[in-house]
Amino acid sequence: MILPFFQLTGLIALLFFLYYTYIQYRKNIFNKADALIWSVIWVTLMFISVFPQLFQPFIPTLFFRVLDIIVIFSVAALLTVGFLIYRRLRIYEQKTRQLMRHMALEDVEEPG
């Protein structure tokens, strides 16, 4: 089975995001639930990009190719931006938690 260019490109990008999700989990930026949710999203999109013919009955035939490309790129862009924002939020949350712990320990150590 040879995949067309857009399907192959999408598959490679989704594999990258799946790997990146795993790296974020290993760095403790994502917890298990975060990693599982994002992994399910990436694997589902991989399935859809490799087997789009399974979803053809749900897509109207009028302007099929143009609409298909627009929808795929739009969803990919939104998911990418959402993923990156979520990742950044988790990093800030961890930094805030560390700062609060540090401040709490300073308050305890100072003689009152």
pLDDT per residue over 62-84, tens digit each? 555 655 666 777 788 888 889 98
- pLDDT interval class at 58 (50, 70, 90): low
| pLDDT over 60 at 93, yes or no | yes
Q: How many residues does the chain have?
A: 112
How confident is the model at residue 110, as a pLDDT? Answer: 66
How confident is the model at residue 40, as a pLDDT? Answer: 92
Average pLDDT score, the chain? 83
Average pLDDT over residues 35-60: 82
- pLDDT interval class at 89 (50, 70, 90): very high
Record the tokens describing residue 87, joined without a space.
């990742």
pLDDT-above-90 percentage for the chain:
33
Q: State how many domains the chain has.
A: 1
How confident is the model at residue 67, as a pLDDT? Answer: 57
How confident is the model at residue 70, as a pLDDT? Answer: 63
For residue 64, which amino acid is it? F
d(CA 51, CA 68): 13
Quick check: 38 and 21 in contact, CB under 8 A?
yes
| Domain range enclosing 64 | 5-109
pLDDT per residue over 33-42, tens digit each? 989 998 998 8
For residue 79, which amino acid is it? L
